[in-house]
Amino acid sequence: MTYRIVITPAGLKLLETVPDRRIREQIRDRIDGLAHEPEQQGKPLKGDLAGFRSLRAVGQRYRILYRVERARVLVVVVAVGLRIVAVGLRKEGDRHDIYRLAQKLIRLHLI
């Protein structure tokens, strides 16, 4: 089965903030790979992000957060970030952490 991939506006905006074109292309390739067996890729998240999965990209530095909707044969990419929102290194508790951003977007009903 092939899934259709939809990138949310927030996810697209975060992808566009990645400064290096080659890295953006590698992230897009990884996202395109979700069209086949997305539930076998990434890891399931817990807590406020339960129902979402996290997939590493570009040498483990970036995270792609997505949700699989089986009823509609759809993969929804909700956020793309460098271990944090856009630039820097992921640090537990950092206000720019990609997981923290995703929780905020969910709370605000933006995804």
Domain hosting 64: range is 4-107
Predicted TM-score (pTM) of this structure: 0.73
DSSP 8-state secondary structure symbol assigned to residue 67 = E
DSSP 5-65: EEE-HHHHHHHHT-S-HHHHHHHHHHHHGGGB-GGGSSEE--GGGTT-EEEEETTTTEEEE
Going residue by residue through the chain, which has 111 residues, state the pLDDT in tens, using 9 for 90 and above: 788 888 888 788 888 888 889 988 998 899 899 889 888 998 998 888 888 888 888 877 788 888 888 776 566 666 665 433 322 235 556 666 767 777 777 776 665
| CATH code at position 76 | 3.30.2310.20
How many domains, in total, are found in the chain? 1
